[in-house]
Amino acid sequence: MDSYPAPALAMVESMHAAAAQDPARAIAFQGAPGANSHRAINEWDPDALPLPCFSFAAAIEAVEEGRASCAMIPIENSQAGRVADIHFLLPESELCIVGEHFLSIEHSLMALNDKGPFKGAYSHPHALSQSRQYLKERGIVPLSHADTAGAAAHVAELGDPEFAAIAPNLAADLYGLKIVEENVEDAADNTTRFVVLAREALDPATLAGQETMTTFVFEVKNIPAALYKAMGGFATNGVNMTKLESYQKGASFAATMFYADIIGAPTAYGGDPAVDRALEELAFHCKGVRMFGTYPLARQRG
C-alpha cells in the first residue's frame, strides 16, 4: 500500500479489511495509523472505523468509490496556515462538506528510549515548524517525513536510539515507542480545523435550530474591482465572511479562484434571506460559483 513503513503496514491492512466489512462506518484519512487525522476521527465519531490512506487524493477517492462514508481532511492550522490542497482537490471531486471539527494539536517527542541525546527528529514539515524552537534549543536536527505517525513508524523501523519522532501520543502506543517529552509544540494554542467530506450534502432538516457555516468557491469576472463588487453583497446584507483565500486555476495565472466560508445558510437550508441576497449578488459579479455545503458551526468565530 504505497510506501508505509513496515510497522504501520500490517495495521493499515487490518484497518482496510475492517472498513471493507462495514464501509458505512468507515471514515477515510490521510496518513499512517496514529496521525492527528486518526485522533480527529476518534473525537468526531468514537464508533467509526478509521481508514488510513497514503494521500489526500486517495482519501477522497475512497469516499467517491463507496469504500468509506466520509473523509476527515485537515484544512487549516492556527500556526502553519493552509494544511491540505483541498482548494484543488475538492472542486475536482463531487464531495460535499458536511461538518467541521477543531483538534487541539499536542506534539510529543518519542523514541526507542527516553534517554537521548538525539541526533534528529522525524515528522511532517508542519509539525517540525510548530516545534522549531524546541528542537533548536536541544540541537536536534529536524528531518522531514510524509506524516507524523508515519515518522513514528519509521523510527520504530530504523531501530536507531539516536533518532526520534514528533507525533501524537497515540502513535507511540501503536508503534511501541517511549514518550521522551510531551507538548513540545512551541505554541500552546496550536489547533487544526478539519472538514468532513461526504458524497451527499446534509438534509436541511438536520440543521434546524443550529448555527451553520456555508462554504463555496467562486471565480470573479476579469474586470476592475470585480472582487470588491462581489464582496459588497456580504457587507450590505450583514453576512459574516470568516475565510477568504485565493488560489490559481491552472498554470496560466490567468484565472484566480477564491475559497470562502460564511456564517449562516441559504433559505433552502432553513437559513436567512440575507444570505440568499448576498450569494445572488456574488453570482452576478462572477464567472461561476460552486457551493460545497452547509453544515453545523463547530466553533464560534470572532
Distance CA 177, CA 165 (A): 9
* Residue 87 CB partners (closer than 8 Å, separation 6+): 217, 245, 247, 257, 259
| H-helix or E-strand spanning residue 133 | helix 132-138
Which grid coordinates belong to 169? Answer: 501520543
Whether the CB-CB separation of 80 and 129 falls below 8 Å is answered with yes
Q: In one letter, which amino acid is 64?
A: E
Which member of 29, 118, 163, 194 is catalytic? 194
Query: Quick one: what percent of the chain has pLDDT higher than 90?
Result: 78
Which grid coordinates belong to 133? Answer: 524552537
Q: Which domains does the chain have, with CATH numbers?
A: 6-105+191-198 (3.40.190.10), 108-181 (3.40.190.10), 204-296 (3.30.70.260)
Count of other CB atoms within 10 angstroms of residue 90: 25
The DSSP string of 53-119 is ESSHHHHHHHHHTTSSSEEEEEEEETTTEE-S-HHHHHHHS--EEEEEEEEE---EEEESSSS---S
pLDDT digits (tens, 9 = 90+) for 171-187: 999 999 999 999 999 88
CA 211 to chain centre: 21
Which grid coordinates belong to 190? Answer: 496550536
29 is catalytic: no
Count of other CB atoms within 10 angstroms of residue 301: 11
**Count of residues for the chain?**
302
CA 240 to chain centre: 22
Which grid coordinates belong to 191? Answer: 489547533
pLDDT mean over 17-23: 97
CA angle (218 as vertex; 269, 278 as ends), nearest 5: 50
Average pLDDT for the chain: 92
Closest CA to 105 of 37, 196, 158, 42: 37
192 is catalytic: yes
CA angle (69 as vertex; 17, 199 as ends), nearest 5: 140
Whether the CB-CB separation of 29 and 59 falls below 8 Å is answered with yes
Question: What pLDDT sits at residue 46?
Answer: 97
Distance CA 289, CA 287 (A): 7
Which member of 29, 56, 148, 192 is catalytic? 192
**85, pLDDT greater than 90:** no
pLDDT digits (tens, 9 = 90+) for 113-162: 988 899 999 999 989 999 999 999 999 999 999 889 999 999 999 999 99
Question: What pLDDT sits at residue 79?
Answer: 78
Of 70-84, 196-210, 223-237, 255-269, which gets the smallest average pLDDT?
70-84
Neighbouring-strand partners of residue 219 = 257, 288
Closest CA to 51 of 197, 152, 153, 176: 197
**218, pLDDT greater than 80:** yes
Count of other CB atoms within 10 angstroms of residue 288: 11
Q: In one letter, which amino acid is 301?
A: R
pTM for this prediction: 0.92
